Chains A and B, each alone.
Chain A
């Protein structure tokens, strides 16, 4: 954004791509799919000490229609997977997904008959967080990585 002589009148020039990605990346509304202890860490991240609001992602929406960031926090059983898929489908584009913790990413220690071995088999995941459960710093790091992805994607059509 170059300085122009008419800027003192409250006008600045920018590109549409820049202003749209700026708005998107700084107002991510998470859909918390909390099924286990990872959700407790997510709550700690949202609370005052770590304060995810600093990154514009404090508006937790429990309606998928109003959110654009799926955070899968916890283990997903095969009975729960169709629910997760349906909620993911209900979220409007553009949307992103964080797989938080070992269980959501690969099944973790639950290598059993009823547990999904990684939600990325069924929904697209943008950022994986390691840890069991991950600390709030890791969740903030993942959020910043999502912001970088939002920034680099631009405003192209995401789906055919």
Chain B
């Protein structure tokens, strides 16, 4: 049985050369590094192509490559799974620090909105076109984005400066 992720790499190299930065393999799983510009087109292709059929978005997460020589500081990672072809694939879209924005894939997968809210909550990456982009775990009045590498462990004073309960049950 041929690995569906090898076919995915071949097709991306052929069809998306303008946004593809590179491809590789890590932990037995192939991935593609891409620029953020055509992320919705690219993921729509991976989902709908008859030989790939990555119907399932397992997770959206992010990495902060602060001072690590990555193409851009942030990277939004899409974990895909093809139920039909039984294969995994990973798409890593790089997002610059100056403008941390990427198009939302909420229209493609129902699993995307909450995962994107988590990335927004903890990294401050905004998803354009998201139906309800707000914090999912930290309280709404929180100001920082704690999983950024330049965020101190003890916070920026949020744990002392939050709206106290003023009384009046």
Q: Which residues of A contact B (CB under 8 A)?
A: 78-79, 81-82, 85-86, 89-90, 111-117, 122
Q: Which residues of B contact A (CB under 8 A)?
A: 138-139, 144, 146, 151-156, 158-159, 162-165, 167-169
Contacting pair B159 A89 (CB below 8 A): no
Q: How far is the CB of A38 from chain B (nearest CB, A)?
A: 20
Q: How far is the CB of B160 from chain A (nearest CB, A)?
A: 8
Instruction: Please give, as numbers and ranges, the residues of chain B lying within 8 Å of A82 by CB-CB distance.
Output: 162-165
CA distance A84 to B151 in the complex (A): 27
User: In the complex, which residue of chain A has the Cβ closest to the Cβ of B168?
Assistant: A89
User: In the complex, which residue of chain B has the Cβ closest to the Cβ of A113?
Assistant: B155
CA distance A111 to B169 in the complex (A): 30
CA distance A115 to B146 in the complex (A): 13
Contacting pair B151 A113 (CB below 8 A): yes
CA distance A79 to B146 in the complex (A): 15
Closest 5 CB pairs of A and B: A113-B155, A85-B165, A82-B165, A79-B139, A90-B169
CA distance A122 to B139 in the complex (A): 18
- Say whether, besides A78-B158, A79-B139, A113 and B152 are in contact (CB < 8 Å): yes
Contacting pair B167 A81 (CB below 8 A): no
CA distance A43 to B168 in the complex (A): 31
Interface-centre pick from B139, B146, B152 (highest chain A CB count, 10 A): B139
Instruction: Please give, as numbers and ranges, the residues of chain A lying within 8 Å of B163 by CB-CB distance.
Output: 82
Instruction: Please give, as numbers and ranges, the residues of chain A lying within 8 Å of B144 by CB-CB distance.
Output: 113
Contacting pair A78 B169 (CB below 8 A): no
CA distance A81 to B168 in the complex (A): 15
Instruction: Please give, as numbers and ranges, the residues of chain A lying within 8 Å of B158 by CB-CB distance.
Output: 78, 113-114
Instruction: Please give, as numbers and ranges, the residues of chain B lying within 8 Å of A115 by CB-CB distance.
Output: 159
CA distance A90 to B163 in the complex (A): 18
Contacting pair B169 A112 (CB below 8 A): no
- Say whether, besides A113-B144, A116-B159, A89 and B153 are in contact (CB < 8 Å): no
Instruction: Please give, as numbers and ranges, the residues of chain A lying within 8 Å of B155 by CB-CB distance.
Output: 112-114
Q: How far is the CB of A52 from chain B (nearest CB, A)?
A: 28
User: In the complex, which residue of chain B has the Cβ closest to the Cβ of A88?
Assistant: B165
CA distance A102 to B169 in the complex (A): 29
Q: How far is the CB of B150 from chain A (nearest CB, A)?
A: 13
A-B pairs with beta carbons under 8 Å apart, 9 shown? A78-B139, A79-B138, A82-B164, A86-B165, A89-B165, A90-B169, A114-B138, A115-B159, A122-B165
